[in-house]
Amino acid sequence: MYSLVGLRNFDWLIFLVTCLLLTTGFLFVWSASSESFAFKQIIWIGVGVVVFSVLLIVDYYSIGKISYILYLIVLFCLCLVLLFGKTVYGAQRWLMVGPISIQPSEMMKIVLVLVVSRYFVDKKSLEGFSGVFFPLALTLLPMALIMKQPDLGTSLILLPVLFSIMFIAGVRTRYMITITVIALSTIPLFWYFVLKGYQKARIVSFLWPDTVNSWGAGYHRMQSLIAIGSGGSFGSGWGKGIQSQLNFLPQGHTDFIFSVITEEWGFYRSCALLCLYVLFLACSIGIAVNTRDPYGRLIVTGFTAMFAAQILINIAMTIGLAPITGLPLPFISYGGSSLVTSFIALSFIFNVRMRNKVALAKDGFYE
Amino acid sequence: MQKKRFKIFFGTIAVLFFVILCKLFYIQMIEGGKFSGISNNKRIRTVGIDTLRGTIYDRNGLVLAVDKHSFELTVMYKKLFNAYSCFNQNILPEVSEGRKQGKYHNLCSGCHIDKVMWVEKVAELLDIPYTDIFDKATKIVKKVENIKQAVERKNKRKIRIREETIPHSIASHIPWEKVAKFEVEMLNLPGIQIETNPVRWYPQGDMSSHVIGYVGKLGNGEIQNYNFKKRWFDNLKKSGESESEFFTQKAISMDALIGKSGIEKTYNSSLMGIPGERFEEVTLDTMRVDKLILERPSIPGNNIFLTIDSRIQGIAEKALGNKKGSVIVMDPWNGEVIAIASFPRYNLNTLNADYTALSKNPLKPFLNRPIQSVLPPGSTFKIVTAIAALEENKIDENTHFSCYGSLKVGNIRFRCLTKYGHGLLNVEEAMQYSCNVFFFETAKILGGKLLEKWAKNFGLGNTTDIDLAYEKKGNIPKSRSFSQTINLSIGQGAMLVTPIQMARMIATIANGGWHTKPHILRKISDYKGNTLASNKYELTEKIDISEKNMNIIQHSLRKVVTSGTARKVGLKELHVAGKTGTTQTARENENHAWFVGYAPFEKPKYCFVVVVEHTEGHGAEIAGPIVKKLLIQIGI
C-alpha cells in the first residue's frame, strides 16, 4: 500500500495548472500587501507541498478506512475550539497546539468528504429516505459548530460538498429536492436566531445596496467594485492598482485578492485565470469519471465540489453577486491553513488518479 | 446514470462560471468607464477626523484634564506650493503693491495674482504680516518635498504622496471672532478651511500634575513597539463592531497623542478615542471636494474618574508648601488614594514651554516622589520591628529592656536619640519615645531573616501596583551581619522604601491587619456616561496578627502623639495616631523627616504619610506641622 508504483499515472496537467495558480497567488499577495507576506506565502506553499507529497505515499483507501475515527477527532477539536480557541478578528477559529495554530473547521471540510463517501460506499442500497438522514446529520453537526465560531462561509461550504457526493452516489433527485425545500424553509429561523448583526448587514447591503448607508456594510462591496471596474480590459499593471496600492481595498491579499488581480491585470487576463480554474475542475471531474473505484470517485467529487464552491463564492462576492463571507480563493489567497487544506484535497485527487489502475490488483502485483 | 449525473455536475459549475464571467465583463468592459473615472481623474481622499481624548475627573466630578477645541487654519498644499514659488521668484511685492494701488500689473499675467491672492486675504483676516504666511508655506513645502524625495528614491518612480493632497495647518489657536470672519469669507477662499483641533487643557493648573501626567506623540522607537492591535480589540469587545476590524492599522495614526506619564499613560487605551475617517472624492486639479462618499464618525475616548479629592489634594499641596517631599492621604479601608502631593511640581498647561528649564532643574520636578523616591524609612519602620517581635513571640508587652543611651555591638557603638538613655522601658514606651536601643535589643533576639519576612509581609520593598506608571520598587536588603540587622531594625542602612509603600503599611495597621491595594482609578465611563468599569476594592487578605498585639501597636502609636516624640506638635486634639521618623542621609545635617499615621485613631478615616526630603529638622518638627495643617483643614 505504500508503493510508489502509481507515479507513472501522475497527472501533469493538473499539476501545471496548480503551479500557475500558485504563481499568480504569490505575485498578487506581493502586490496587495508586501514582500514579507509573499515570502511567508512561499513558506506555506513549501509546507503544503511537503504535506501533499507525504499524503501521496499513503493509499487513500487506508485513510478512508479510518475516516469515522478522523471525523470524531476533528469534531472533538471543533468543540475544543469553542471552549479554548484563540480569538482573532472577533471569531474563535484557531486551536493553539504549542506554537502551531490549527483551524479545525478547515480540516472538517476534508474529513467530511472522506466520511460521507465512506458511508455511501458501505451502504448497500440507497432506496428509502432514511439512508439520507445519516450523512445529513454528519454534515449538520459540524456546520452548527462552525457557525457558532462564527464562520458562516466555511460552514456553508459543507452543504454543496454533501449534495454533490449524494448526487453522484445516486441518491434520488426527489429526496434531494425535499431536503432543499426543508432547508429553505428554515431560513427565517436563521435570520432571527443565528445570524449576527454584521452578517445581516452584509446580506441587506447585498440585496438592497441603496438602502445601506451605515459605515462598513457597503464599504467592501463598493471598494471591490471600483477596483474591478477600474481594471478595464488590460488593467493598470502589476503593482499599480490604485485601489489596492492605496489601501482602499481591505483584505486585498486574502479574501479580496481577486479584485486586486482584476484591477491590475484587466479583463482578459482574469478571464484566463477563470479558465485555469475551470480547467482544474474539469480535470478533477475527469479523474472522478475515469476511476474504477467507487470510493475514489466519491471523494474526488467531494473535493471538486469543495474547490468549485470556494472559487465561485469568493469571486461572486468580490464582483457583487453574493453577500460578503470570508472565504479564501484556493491556491491564490494568502493564508497558511487554507493553502494546506487545498494541498491535502489536491493530494487526494492525485492519489485517486495514481491508484485507479491498481485498485483491483493486490499489493505487490507489479513487483 | 452516473455518467449523466457527472455531466449535470460539471454543467452546473460551468454555468455558474459563465454567469461570473458575464458579470465581470459587464463591470469591467461596459461599466468600466464609470469606475475607472472614479479612480483616475478623481481621487478618493481619506481625511482623518480627530477624536476627543476622554476627560479626567476627580472623585467629586471636578475636571482635571479635558480636550478643548482649538481652531486651526488649513490650506491645501497646492495653494501653499504656488505661494512658495511666487515668493521665491520675488514677484510678490510688486504684485500686491500693484493691486493695492488699483493698477493692473503686467508683470505676471493674471494667473500669479490669483494664485497668491489668498495670502493677502488671509493675512488681512488674521491680522499678521503676510511674510509670516510665506515663511510657513516655505517650511511646509520644504518638508513635504523632502518626504516626497525620500519616498521616490525608495520606490524609484514618481509618486504622488498623501501630503500633497491634504490641507496643512498654517495657524492655530485662532480666536473666536476671527473664526467668525473667516466663515463669512470662506466662499471666496477655496482650499482654505477652518478646522477644529483638540488640545489638552488642565483647568487646575499645576494641581496633581504628577498624577494626571502629560500626553505626547509617539517617539520613533515607540512606534515600532506600540501594540496597535491590542488596543483596538479592547474597544472591539466592548462595542461589538466587528465590521470595523479592517481598520485596525488606522486606529492610531503616527501623530496621535499618547499618554506619557501618570494616569494619562496607565489608562491611555481607555482615554483614547477611535479617530473617524472621511472618504471624499476630489478632482485632482482643483482639489475641491466633489462628493462625500463615506464618513465613519469618530468615537470619543472614555472618561476616567479618580479617587483624588481635589479639595484635599489642594490642602495637601499647600500644606507641603515648597518643601521637597510628598504627602499621601489614603482611605485605609479600600485603598483609595485621596490626595497624593509631590513637590516640586510642574504646570501641565505650560509644560511644552517649560520643558527644558524643568529637565535641568536639580530638584527633578518630573519625579513623582510619592511613588518614585526611594528613601530609608527610619524610625517609622520600628512599627514593623515591633509587630514582628511580638508576633514571633520574641517579646511580649511586659518585656523590658534598659537603655543607657547606646549599645555596643562588637566594636561599633549604636546610639540612641538621647545621650543619657531612656532607662527601663517596654515596647509601648519604646515606640512612644522612639528608643533605638530597645529595638537593637529586640533585633538581637529576632534576627535578620524574620525582620525581612515581616517587612515583606507589609509589602515594603515591593511595588504596590498602584495605577501610576514607573513606580519604584525600593529594596529590603538581606541582612548578612549582626550589625546590619541592628541597622535594619530602625529602618536605616540599605533599606529603601517609597512613601506609597509606607502608606500601605500604615493602612494595614489602621484597619486592623487587612492588606490594601492603593489605587487612583474610581471608575471608567464612556462618553455617553455609561459606567464601563468601577474599581471597587474589598479587603480580602489579612496579615496574621493577633488582636492583642495589634492593640499594643495602635495604642503606642497614639501615645507617640499624646506624650511621645510628637507631643509638642499639637496633634493630640486631632485624634491622630502615628509615628515620626528621622532618617540620616549621607550628608551632615540633612535628614528625611517622616510622619506616618492615621486619624481619627478610634475609627480611622484617613491614613497619611508625610515625607520631607533633605531637610535639617527632625520628623516631628518638620513633618508634624504639615500633618497638623492638613488635618485641620480637611476637618476631622
With an 8 Å Cβ cutoff, are A225 and B243 in contact?
A: no
Contacts of A237 in chain B (CB under 8 A): none
Interfacial residues of B (vs A; Cβ cutoff 8 Å)? 1-3, 5-6, 8-10, 13-14, 16-17, 19-21, 23-25, 27-29, 31-32, 34-36, 38-40, 43-44, 236, 240-247, 294-297
The rounded distance, in Å, linking the Cα atoms of B558 and B601 is 7
CA distances from B160 to A108, B28, B150, B283 (A): 47, 26, 12, 14
Q: Is A321 on the interface with B (CB under 8 A)?
A: yes
Taking only residues 129 to 148 of chain A, the set having a beta carbon closer than 8 angstroms to any beta carbon of chain B reads none
Interchain CB contacts (distance < 8 Å): A and B: 126
Q: How confident is the model at residue B228 (pLDDT cuts 50, 70, 90)?
A: very low
Q: What pLDDT does residue A154 have?
A: 86
Nearest CB to B14: which of A198, A278, A305?
A: A278
Q: What pLDDT does residue B233 have?
A: 39
CATH architecture of B51-301: Alpha-Beta Complex (3.90)
- Residue B228 CB neighbours (<10 A): 12
User: B159 near B148, Cβ under 8 Å?
Assistant: yes
The rounded distance, in Å, linking the Cα atoms of B142 and B88 is 12
Answer with the residue of higher pLDDT: A194 or B604: B604
With an 8 Å Cβ cutoff, are B16 and A312 in contact?
A: yes
Residue A265 amino acid letter: W
pLDDT (mean) for B128-132? 80
With an 8 Å Cβ cutoff, are A89 and B245 in contact?
A: yes
Q: Which residue in chain B is spatially nearest to A161 when comparing CA positions?
A: B9
Burial status of residue A312 (CB atoms within 10 A of its CB: 0-12, 13-18, 19 or more): buried
Q: DSSP 3-state assignment of A10? A: coil
Task: Dump strand ranges (E) for B122-236.
Answer: 167-172, 192-201, 215-217
Determine which of B143-152, B188-197, B396-405, B481-490 has the lowest per-residue pLDDT on average: B188-197
Task: Pull the grid cell for residue B170.
Answer: 498654517
Task: Pull the grid cell for residue B319.
Answer: 500644606
- For chain A, the structural domain boundaries read 21-355
Taking only residues 191 to 230 of chain A, the set having a beta carbon closer than 8 angstroms to any beta carbon of chain B reads 196-198, 201, 215-217, 219-220, 225-230
The rounded distance, in Å, linking the Cα atoms of B361 and B357 is 6
Nearest CB to B294: which of A219, A316, A319?
A: A219
Angle subtended at Cα B608 by Cα B607 and Cα B614, rounded to the nearest 5 degrees:
160
With an 8 Å Cβ cutoff, are B8 and A225 in contact?
A: no
Nearest CB to B21: which of A167, A225, A274?
A: A274
Task: Pull the grid cell for residue B139.
Answer: 517650511
Residues of chain B with CATH 3.40.710.10: 310-634
Ranges A295-309, B70-84, B169-183, most confident: A295-309
Q: What pLDDT does residue A254 have?
A: 81
Q: How far is A50 from chain B (nearest CA, A)?
A: 30
DSSP A183-228: HHHTHHHIIIII--HHHHHHHHHHH-GGG--STTTTHHHHHHHHHH
Contacts of B157 in chain A (CB under 8 A): none
Q: How far is B34 from chain A (nearest CA, A)?
A: 8
With an 8 Å Cβ cutoff, are A289 and B3 in contact?
A: yes
Contacts of A217 in chain B (CB under 8 A): 243
Q: What pLDDT does residue B115 have?
A: 62
Measured on CA atoms in the order A317, A322, A325, A328, is the torsion positive or negative?
negative
Nearest CB to B39: which of A90, A226, A321?
A: A226
Q: Answer whether residue A365 shows pLDDT above 80.
A: no
Nearest CB to A228: which of B28, B247, B295?
A: B28
**Could you report the per-residue pLDDT of B511-521, keeping only the tens digit for each?**
988 888 899 99
Contacts of A205 in chain B (CB under 8 A): none
Nearest CB to A242: which of B24, B39, B296?
A: B39
Q: Answer whether residue B613 shows pLDDT above 80.
A: yes
- Residue A228 CB neighbours (<10 A): 30
With an 8 Å Cβ cutoff, are B19 and A219 in contact?
A: no
Task: Pull the grid cell for residue A115.
Answer: 466520511
With an 8 Å Cβ cutoff, are A320 and B23 in contact?
A: yes
The rounded distance, in Å, linking the Cα atoms of B379 and B390 is 17
Q: DSSP 3-state assignment of B192? A: strand
Q: Please, what is the average pLDDT of chain B? A: 80
pLDDT (mean) for B36-52? 63
A261-279: buried (b, 16+ CB within 10 Å) or exposed (e) per residue? Answer: bbbbbbbebbbebbebbbe
The rounded distance, in Å, linking the Cα atoms of B276 and B250 is 9
Q: What pLDDT does residue B352 have?
A: 79
With an 8 Å Cβ cutoff, are B39 and A217 in contact?
A: no
The residue with cell 460539471 is B10
Q: Which residue in chain A is spatially nearest to B276 when comparing CA positions?
A: A215
Q: Is A285 on the interface with B (CB under 8 A)?
A: yes
Question: Which uninterrupted H or E stretch holds B138?
Answer: helix B130-155
The residue with cell 510665506 is B134
Q: What pLDDT does residue A132 have?
A: 83
**Pairing between β-strand B192-201 and β-strand B167-172 as defined by DSSP bridges:** unpaired
Nearest CB to A170: which of B2, B236, B244?
A: B2
Burial status of residue B344 (CB atoms within 10 A of its CB: 0-12, 13-18, 19 or more): middle
Q: DSSP 3-state assignment of B210? A: helix
Residue B382 amino acid letter: K
Q: How far is B39 from chain A (nearest CA, A)?
A: 7
Contacts of A274 in chain B (CB under 8 A): 17, 20-21, 24
Nearest CB to B9: which of A168, A230, A250?
A: A168
The rounded distance, in Å, linking the Cα atoms of A75 and A327 is 21
Angle subtended at Cα B221 by Cα B220 and Cα B223, rounded to the nearest 5 degrees:
70
Angle subtended at Cα B372 by Cα B366 and Cα B374, rounded to the nearest 5 degrees:
130
CATH 3.40.710.10 fits B310-634, yes or no: yes
Nearest CB to B9: which of A167, A229, A315?
A: A167
Ranges B95-99, B151-155, B541-545, most confident: B541-545
pLDDT (mean) for B256-275? 81
User: B460 near B374, Cβ under 8 Å?
Assistant: no
Q: Is A35 on the interface with B (CB under 8 A)?
A: no
Q: How far is B183 from chain A (nearest CA, A)?
A: 29
The rounded distance, in Å, linking the Cα atoms of A361 and B436 is 99
Contacts of B39 in chain A (CB under 8 A): 226-227, 230, 242-243
Q: What pLDDT does residue B608 have?
A: 93
Task: Pull the grid cell for residue B301.
Answer: 475616548
**Could you report the per-residue pLDDT of B281-291, keeping only the tens digit for each?**
665 545 566 66
B460-494: buried (b, 16+ CB within 10 Å) or exposed (e) per residue? Answer: bbbebebbbbebbebebbebeeebbbbbbbbbbbe
Residues of chain B with CATH 3.90.1310.10: 51-301
The rounded distance, in Å, linking the Cα atoms of A280 and A18 is 8
Contacts of B281 in chain A (CB under 8 A): none
The residue with cell 483584505 is A251
Please, what is the angle between helix A130-147 and helix A67-84, to 10°?
A: 30
Q: For residue B276, what is the DSSP state?
A: E
Q: What pLDDT does residue B246 have?
A: 33
Answer with the residue of higher pLDDT: A129 or B226: A129
- ipTM rounded to 2 decimals: 0.89
Contacts of B247 in chain A (CB under 8 A): 250
- Residue A140 CB neighbours (<10 A): 15
Q: Is the peptide bond before B600 cis (omega within 30 degrees of 0)?
A: yes
Q: How far is B81 from chain A (nearest CA, A)?
A: 24
Answer with the residue of higher pLDDT: A71 or A8: A71
Question: Which uninterrupted H or E stretch holds B623?
Answer: helix B619-634
